[in-house]
Amino acid sequence: MLEEPSLAVPQWSLTRISQFCEPQRIAVIGTGYVGLTAAACLASLNHDVVCADISESRIEQLSKGIVPILEEGLSDLIREMTTIGRLRFTGSNSEAVSNAQFVFLCLPTPEGADGSADLSAIEAVSLEIGPYLLANSVVINKSTVPVGTTFFVRDLIDRDDVDVASNPEFLSEGSAVRDFLQPDRIIIGAQSPDVAIRIADLYGDSSQPRCIVVDIASAELIKYASNAYLATRLTFINSIACFCEAVGADIRTVSQGMGADRRIGPSFLNVGPGWGGSCFPKDTQALIHMAEKVGCQLPLVKATVEANDEHMRHVATKVARAVGGSVTNKAVAMWGVTFKAGTNDIRYSPALKIANLLTGWGATVTAYDPSMPGPIEGIRLVSSKEEACRGADVLFVATEWPEFASADLAAIGEVMSNRVMVDSRNVFAIDEAINAGFEYTGMGIGNMRALVDESAK
Ligand code: UDX
């Protein structure tokens, strides 16, 4: 199915910078994080956008201004764009594309049973829209897809008068609108400079210096390589944090010292309970799978995935140690359920993986999350931080929501059976927790005893 990557790798730079952002007719297929953000942001850049999804209930909700995902600024932008008529929603893919000069595919590529990316949505939509596309339109893959998929789409569309291109999306949940409108870079993989320029023009003048135009295979791979690199970096810092605990160093200081090196930089060096979310887990697996298919081993990426699982087990063990070595029959209060703060997404959440380990070892877990997710098997969800802590033997801080850091720890301690805390994101200052009477365990803070003594002075 996938074409071998071409050996001829053109590396164009943009030869023309447009003077203004000419409004274009755009169809966005898919109303997930990427699709909704792309649709709303492209509308805000002056384009006429129609966004399609096969889920009728989702389209009905969106048409009423109800946005099903928690994403800063997105609901307001969608409502604003629909009100002024630059954005509308439809349940028909063919209707959406039939008048569009550009079609963005923003479809899910979930992890298949063997770790590969499941391309069934991409395949079905490409087959469906082919006959309805306008001559000279461009179909642009924004979904994270294995190398070769854009050519696969081209073959399924089967139209000589339509171009295909790759323009991967790098937005992070929680800052999606800002990431889309002020990206570090816009990667465009196209078969000709003309097509690349047409796509670059969609983002407006100010974005163009950030456009990097490459061949299609490289564009597709840049997305996977970026996510795998970031995941590796996090696994590295989480591993160093464990080492800090053993040798009496402090990961916060180590990260700061490392990040001050311009070659390293300070981002993505915050220790945590492990990485999760809708992208890193599936994209690392898909990259491993893709590489194996062409006989290429990626031992570092494999080790990163394994070490991340091991790290989550290490965090669960820390919780057990904090209550004397075993969590059997212990009540664990968990603050945070989502895979990180600022989202209501619980996909591959480290909090939930660790909660599963703890319940497997005999604990009960009562959790609170500010995004108030729906029922989750195996844990009891409550509606406040205090309620989660009532009668608890240990508080496990899993996610870095700002409202946790501002909690009144003395009052929280009052409702707990034992004032014990494992803070997997180092949300709290150690002296603050200790002054509120907590036995505090942070992450990667080796010389805890000295810090405790210091705070007691
Ligand atoms: C990621 C990529 O950043 C984004 O470019 C891509 O398009 C989709 O995948 P996202 O999944 O929204 O975005 O989350 P991100 O902010 O990257 O965090 C991923 C995981 O790493 C989370 O579990 C987060 O808590 C963890 N993390 C991140 C840390 O533990 N420490 C850090 O310093 C940063």
> Mind listing the pLDDT tens digit for each residue in 137-191?
999 999 999 999 999 999 999 999 999 999 999 999 999 999 999 999 999 999 9
Q: How far apart are CA 257 and CA 267, in angstroms?
A: 12
User: Over the Cα atoms of the chain, what is R_g?
Assistant: 24
The distance of Cα 404 from the centroid of its chain, to the nearest Å, equals: 21
Q: Which of 12-16, 184-188, 218-222, 439-443 has the lowest mean pLDDT?
A: 12-16
> What integer best gives the mean pLDDT of the chain?
92
Which atom of ligand 1 is closest in space to residue 173's alpha carbon? 12
Amino acid residing at 14: L
Residue 224 contacts residue 285 (beta carbons within 8 Å): no
User: From start to end of 369-431, where are the E strands?
Assistant: 380-381, 394-397, 420-423
Strand partners, 422: 396, 441
236 ligand 1 Cβ < 6 A: no
User: Which residue, judged by its Cα, is nearest atom 2 of ligand 1?
Assistant: 172
174 CA closest ligand 1 atom index: 12
User: What pLDDT is stored for residue 428 in this prediction?
Assistant: 96
The residue count of the chain comes to 457
- Regarding the beta carbon of 277 and ligand 1, being less than 6 Å apart is answered yes
Q: Does residue 204 or residue 416 have the better pLDDT?
A: 416
Indicate if ligand 1 lies below 6 Å from the C-beta of 171: yes
Handedness of CA 49, 55, 60, 64 (dihedral sign): negative
The strands making up 25-29's β-sheet, listed across from edge to edge, are: 87-90, 48-52, 25-29, 102-105, 138-141, 163-166, 186-189, 211-214
Residue 279 known to be catalytic: yes
67 close to ligand 1 (CB < 6 Angstrom): no
Distance (Å) of CA 446 to CA 99, 240, 437, 454: 61, 11, 20, 14
- The reported pLDDT for the residue numbered 19 is 39
Ligand 1 binding pocket includes 227 (Cβ within 6 Å): yes
List beta partners, residue 368.
Answer: 335
- Ligand 1 centre from 419 Cα, in Å? 31
How many angstroms separate the alpha carbon of residue 383 from the centre of ligand 1?
26
Annotated catalytic residue within 106, 211, 279, 389: 279
Rounded to whole angstroms, how far apart are CA atoms 97 and 25?
Answer: 9
